[in-house]
Amino acid sequence: MMSEKKLNFLILLFLLLVPLFSMLLNDIYITTLFSKIIILAIAGIGLNLILGYGGMVSFGHAAFFGLGGYVTGILAFHFNNYEPIQILVFEFEGTNQLLFIWIFTLIFSSILALFIGYFSLRTTGVYFIMITLAFAQMLYYFSISWPTYGGEDGLSLSLRNQIPFLNTMDPITFFYICYVWLIITIILVKFILNSPLGISLKASKENEDRVRSVGINPKKVKLISFIISGAITGLAGSLYADLNRFVSPTILSWQMSGEIMILVILGGMFRLYGPILGAFFYIILEQFLGGITENWQFWLGFIILLEVLYAKAGIMSFLIKDKYDEKTSS
C-alpha cells in the first residue's frame, strides 16, 4: 500500500525504463507491446474524462479512435501515391509529417466529437449509450464500404509517418513519442480537472439542478468535455495506426469502444492514472491468457466480473491507501 502520488510516479518511472528492460532482456517486442499499452492508456484517459469524471457512458469512442487512425492512414496513403485528396472541387496534398497529421487528427476528431456530442447529449442514460454506439457503427459500416481506402481489408502504411530528425521506425524512438504524448495528456487532463470546466463537469455528473441554480449550463460543460475527450482518443488512434502501420474498420467497431471502456473500468475510474494500469493489465492478460487458451476473453470477462463485484474503484484501489471515493479533485 502506498500513496496515490507515489504510485503515479512509479508508473511513469516504470514506463520510462521499459526500453531499458527490453534491451536487457534482448526482446524489442516488449517495447512495441508497451507502446500499444501507452496508446490505449491515452485513449482510456480521454474516455475517463467523460466517463469517470462526467458520468457519460460513451459506447462509441471507437469513432474517434478510428477516425484518428483513418486520418493518419489516408494522409499517408495520398502522400505515398502522389495523388491529392479530392473533396468536392478542392484538392489537398497528403503528408507523412506526424506534426501535421496530429494537428489534422485533433481538428477532425474535435469536429466529429462536436457533432456526435451535440446530438448525443440531448439524451441521458441508456439512450446516450445507444446513440453514441449508433454513431460509431455508422462510421464502421461506412469504412467497410469505402473501397478507395481498402474497405474491409483496411489500409497499409509502408513506413511510419515521420518527425524531422527522428527515426520513427525505431521501436524505442516510437515508444518515447507515445510516452511524451502520455505525459502531455496527463498534464492536460490534470489541468482540466482542477479548472472551472473540470469542477463544473464533476458537479454536473452529481447534481444538474444545483449546477443550473448557480448559473452553469451543464450541457455546455458536458459538450466541451466530450470534444476534448474525443480529440484525445482521436490522437491515440493516430498513434495506433502508426504503431501497426495499418488501419482497418476493426478500430471503428463496437468491440474497440468496449475495449477502451473495459481498460478504464479495470484500472479505476475517477483516477487519472487508472486507465494506464487498466491498459497494462488488459494487454498483459491478453498476452498471458492468449498464450494459454483461445478463449482468453472468457477469463478476462471473469476477472472483470470479480472486479465489478469486489473492487469498483479498479486495480488502483488495491494498490493505494485511500479507498473508493469519487474524487473531487485529482
Partner 1 sequence: MKKPVLKIDKLSKSFGAIKANDNLNLNLFRNEIHALIGPNGSGKSTLVKQISGFLKQDSGQIYLEEIDISNCSAEHRSRMGIARSFQISSVINSFKVIDNLRLSLMGRDGGYLNPLNNIYRNKDYSDEAFDLLNIVDLTNKANDLVSTLSHGDKRKLEISLALSMKPKLFLFDEPMAGLDKISSQLMIDLFKKLKVKAPILLIEHDMESVFALADRISVLDYGSLIASGNEKEIKSNSKVQEVYLGDEN
Residues at the contact surface with partner 1, assessed by CB under 8 A: 191-192, 194-200, 202-203, 206-207, 209-217, 220-221, 224, 228, 325-326, 328-329
For partner 1, which is the closer residue by CB, 76 or 272? 272
Q: Cα separation of 224 and 187, whole Å?
A: 18
Question: Which of residues 84 and 196 has its CB atom nearest to partner 1 in the complex?
Answer: 196
State which residue, 83 or 326, has the beta carbon closest to partner 1.
326
Comparing CB distances to partner 1, the nearer of 217 and 287 is: 217
Separation of alpha carbons 282 and 258, rounded Å: 12
In the complex, the smallest distance separating the C-beta of residue 188 from partner 1, rounded to whole angstroms, is: 8
CA distances from 112 to 133, 185, 297 (A): 14, 19, 31
Establish how many alpha carbons lie within 13 A of residue 267's alpha carbon, considering only the half-sphere containing its beta carbon.
35
Instruction: Say if CB 252 and CB 143 are below 8 A apart.
Output: yes
Q: How far is the CB of 228 from partner 1 (least distance, A)?
A: 7
- Find the shortest distance in angstroms from Cβ 313 to partner 1: 14
Q: Is 286 left (phi over 0), alpha (psi -120 to 50) or beta?
A: alpha
Shortest Cβ 136–partner 1 spacing (Å): 25
* Least distance between partner 1 and beta carbon 257 (Å): 24
Q: Please give the grid coordinates belonging to residue 90.
A: 478542392
Residue with cell 517486442: 29
Beta bridge partners of 163: 166
Q: Which residues touch 227 (CB under 8 Å, ≥6 apart)?
A: 110, 113, 114, 117
Which residue, 28 or 223, is less far from partner 1 as judged by CB? 223
The answer to whether 230 and 120 are in contact (CB under 8 A) is: no
Which residue, 66 or 117, is less far from partner 1 as judged by CB? 117
- Rounded to the nearest whole angstrom, what is the least distance from the CB of residue 118 to partner 1 in the complex? 15
Strand partners, 166: 163
Distance CA 269, CA 196 (A): 20
Coil, helix or strand at residue 156: strand
Cβ-contact 245, 79 below 8 angstroms: no
**Cα 282 to Cα 266: distance, rounded to the nearest angstrom:** 8
Q: Which three cell numbers stand for residue 282?
A: 488488459
Nearest CB to partner 1, comparing residues 175 and 226? 226
Q: Which is nearer to partner 1, 134 or 203 (CB)?
A: 203
Strand locations in the chain, DSSP E?
85-87, 90-92, 155-156, 246-247
Q: Which is nearer to partner 1, 81 or 329 (CB)?
A: 329
Residue 270 CB, shortest distance to partner 1, in Å, is: 10
Q: How far is the CB of 191 from partner 1 (least distance, A)?
A: 5
Q: How far is the CB of 199 from partner 1 (least distance, A)?
A: 5
Residues in the chain: 330
